[in-house]
Amino acid sequence: MPIYELACEFDIVRRIGWTDEDLGTHIDSVFERLHQAADVIGMSATSNLDTGRSHITLRYEAERDDDPERLGRTTLGVAVRASGGGHNGLLPLAEEAALKPQRGQWSGLRTPAWNVRQVAIEEVPRPS
């Protein structure tokens, strides 16, 4: 099965701004959920804790016929929502409008919103 790498740039924001290590804790929570996904091989992130600008790379297996970009975006979206966040621009507008964060651990002021800036996908060689 081919391996794909989905590289995304997000502005991860919330209404009251990030304090101390909150952004890192939230991204760690998203990664914990991604580790539970069946086809995910690995992931990495770099973030500016002051601005919330984050680069997330997700590596996963997918069949070419299964729309690998949509699979990666959906997997990432599920992890973000399961971690109490929301996303804008990750999925088609009609789908995103119907989705909400799964946990009410934060008030609306503290709910992270993952705003997509860029997305790129490529098929990568299988590690030997």
Section 83-100 average pLDDT: 84
Q: Please indicate whether residue 48 or residue 33 has the higher confidence score (pLDDT).
A: 33
User: Which pLDDT does position 92 carry in this prediction?
Assistant: 87
pLDDT of 13 over the 70 cut: yes
Q: What share of the chain is helix, strand, coil (3-state, %, to 5)?
A: 30, 35, 35
pLDDT of 100 over the 70 cut: no
Helix (H) or strand (E) holding 22: helix 22-35
Tokens 């992890």 identify what position?
Answer: 79
Nearest to 73 by CA among 7, 3, 2: 7
- Is the whole-model pTM more than 0.85? yes
Tokens 């996963």 identify what position?
Answer: 60
Tokens 């680069």 identify what position?
Answer: 55
